[in-house]
Amino acid sequence: MLNKEELLQYLEKEKQAIYQRGDTFFQCAELGFCEVETAKKITELLDEWGIPYEKEIALTGIIATLGSGKGYHIAFVADIDALPRKDGKGNIHSCGHSIQTTMGLSLLKALHESGILEQTDCGVSFFFTPAEEYIDFAYRDGLIAKGKLEFRSGKQNMIALGYFDEVNCVLSAHANGDEGTKFDVDSTLAGFMAKKAVFMGRAAHSGAAPHLGRNTLHGATLAMNALSFLKDQFAVEKGLRLNPVLTAGGGSVNTIPDVTVLETYVRANDNETLFEACKRFDGCIEHCAKALDLGYEISNTVGYLPLAQSKGLNKVVRGNMLLYCSSEEIVESPISGASGDVGDLGFLIPTIQFGFSGVKGRFHDDSFAIADYENCYITSGKVMLGTIYDLITNPDSRVQQNKKEYIGKKLEYFGWLHHNYQ
């Protein structure tokens, strides 16, 4: 069997081809569940390399598997969707998903050409997943209404279809914006739930008889104050973010408003805080409405769960990072207010998503660009490939989850999804 350094050389000798693929996928920016050209480019490469795959999973997703996976089954997950440009001129990979896609293909080719998995009882499945960005609701909800999808996110649909049922662990990586560092490890991502509260009252003449009305704008204003006080009841490290806005209300200055709509995301760093904050949001709406004799309705739109990473897997990842940088160049356990559907995987399966530097500009902005090709595509790829090597060659490095535990978590997960999906 190859040693680790011999396996990593497959990336080194492919460097220029990897850079070219990175540019190709960066220029091919498509929104979630519309990644038709991206999927075509991926499958054309897999066909060229003679690697079997399954396509059109959750419309545009692709999975390619190497090895048997009977002893240990690793999933590498790459997002393939992009975002709309701020200038309205098409789309852009302003979250760096094209780097993930390129990394996945580089690792896949290296493992395939080396034949190393055929010498083990392990397998690695490469998931090219659509629609991580939580946008474009009208389009996605239309697909759901037509029965083409069940949920708004690519990974949520792939979980529902059972594609992760035989996976033992999930590996992923994502660009970060930390200058002066190489990597981050064991970061958190916030989970979120979208909440919509409709206050219902009674219209009346605001000058002649305001007392005959029931002012819903007053109810929403009272609730916004209550919610601002609520934030102080959670510790800072819980990451609660709650910034409500009024999306409907007011109207004629001569009429007491009878309908006002308040909407917000509820974000938190862990499931317990997220669910508790959602419960207490509902309490604020209910009691503020009742205090002013108003009616109310609350609707929820499920988002993503917080990401809690596997400590055991991150130990392996960190060891591979140290082959290319000092410990001072690794950011340990950063807390992020961003969210991703990788958090849903982390709830079910031992999961990691390390961060790597090498981009410039602002995330989710037209200024985003790749600045350090070496770190984005080669060094980060070596960290991931080295991690895979350690997991397939050293059983003691593997993080295990029994099947019964997974089934129980999956039942809980879909109970949460279906209860809150509107």
Beta bridge partners of 202: 214
> What's residue 337's pLDDT?
83
Residue 62's SS3 state is strand
Q: Of 328, 324, 274, 283, which is closest to residue 303 (Cα–Cα)?
A: 274
pLDDT (tens digit, 9 = 90+) per residue, 234-245? Answer: 999 899 999 999
The average pLDDT across 151-168 equals: 97
179 has pLDDT over 90: no
Q: What is d(CA 79, CA 133) in angstroms, rounded to the nearest whole number?
A: 9
> Is 308:346 a contact under the CB 8 Å cutoff?
yes
Q: Lowest-pLDDT range, 61-65, 76-80, 143-147, 413-417?
A: 413-417
Q: What is the DSSP letter of 40?
A: H
Tokens at 15, concatenated = 């460097």
The average pLDDT across 337-354 equals: 95
> What's residue 335's pLDDT?
87
The average pLDDT across 348-361 equals: 97
The average pLDDT across 17-26 equals: 98
Spatial neighbors of 156 by CB under 8 A, at least 6 apart, are: 150, 341, 344, 417
Q: Of 193, 195, 175, which is closest to residue 184 (Cα–Cα)?
A: 175
Q: Of 53, 52, 60, which is closest to residue 79 (Cα–Cα)?
A: 60
Helix, strand, coil content of the chain in percent (nearest 5): 45, 25, 35
Q: Lowest-pLDDT range, 241-245, 333-337, 341-345, 367-371?
A: 333-337
pLDDT (tens digit, 9 = 90+) per residue, 213-235? Answer: 999 999 999 999 999 999 899 99
Q: Which CATH architecture has domain 191-303?
A: 2-Layer Sandwich (3.30)
The average pLDDT across 295-312 equals: 94
Mean pLDDT of the chain: 95
Instruction: State the maximum Cα–Cα separation within the chain, in Å, rounded to a whole number.
Output: 88
186 has pLDDT over 90: yes
The average pLDDT across 122-137 equals: 96
**Domains 4-189+305-412 and 191-303 alike in fold:** no
> Is 198:261 a contact under the CB 8 Å cutoff?
yes
Name residue 306's amino acid.
P
- Residue 402 vs residue 56, higher pLDDT: 56
* H-assigned helices in 91-245: 97-114, 137-145, 154-160, 216-230
- Residue 277 vs residue 403, higher pLDDT: 277
Q: Lowest-pLDDT range, 243-247, 389-393, 416-420?
A: 416-420
Residue 3: C-alpha distances to residues 71, 111, 114, 338, 392 (Å): 20, 13, 11, 37, 12
> What's residue 241's pLDDT?
92
Instruction: Quote the crossing angle between the two packed helices 97-114 and 36-49, to the nearest 10°.
Output: 10
Q: What is d(CA 375, CA 357) in angstroms, rounded to the nearest whole number?
A: 7
CATH topology of domain 4-189+305-412: Aminopeptidase (3.40.630)
> Is 317:354 a contact under the CB 8 Å cutoff?
yes
> What's residue 421's pLDDT?
62
Domain boundaries, the chain: 4-189+305-412, 191-303
The average pLDDT across 402-422 equals: 86
422 has pLDDT over 60: no
Query: φ and ψ at 369, to 5 degrees?
Result: -160, 160
Buried b (16+ CB within 10 A) or exposed e, 155-169: bbbbbbeebbeebbb
* pTM, to two decimals: 0.91
43 has pLDDT over 70: yes
Q: Is 3 exposed, middle or buried (0-12, 13-18, 19+ CB in 10 A)?
A: exposed
Q: What is d(CA 133, CA 117) in angstroms, rounded to the nearest whole number?
A: 32
